[in-house]
Amino acid sequence: MFANKEQEQLPQMNEENGERRRRMHKRTVECDGYLRDDGLWEVEARLIDKTLCPARPLPRRDKAR
């Protein structure tokens, strides 16, 4: 969709309410279905997550509960 990473991080206008917004995360799901000679189907899928902001570590939980 965007030519480069800098463009992707620029604020974009939300057409529904006119608010400015920046893409922070993108998830792509790609699936291919194959019909085998025995009549069964095989499906291969790939999930790709791209995060444009640095990840923050989750808070630690006390294991002594």
- Global pTM? 0.47
| Per-residue tokens: 58 | 């989750």
The stretch 2-12 carries a mean pLDDT of: 59
The answer to whether residue 61 is domain-embedded is no
Residue 36 has what pLDDT?
A: 98
Domain count, the chain: 1
The stretch 36-60 carries a mean pLDDT of: 89
The residue type of 20 is R
Residue 6 parent element (H or E): helix 5-9
The stretch 44-49 carries a mean pLDDT of: 96
The stretch 45-54 carries a mean pLDDT of: 88
| Residues of the domain holding 22 | 5-51
Residue 30 has what pLDDT?
A: 98
pLDDT confidence band for 1 (50 / 70 / 90): very low
The answer to whether residue 58 is domain-embedded is no
Q: CB-hemisphere CA count at 13 Å for 9?
A: 8
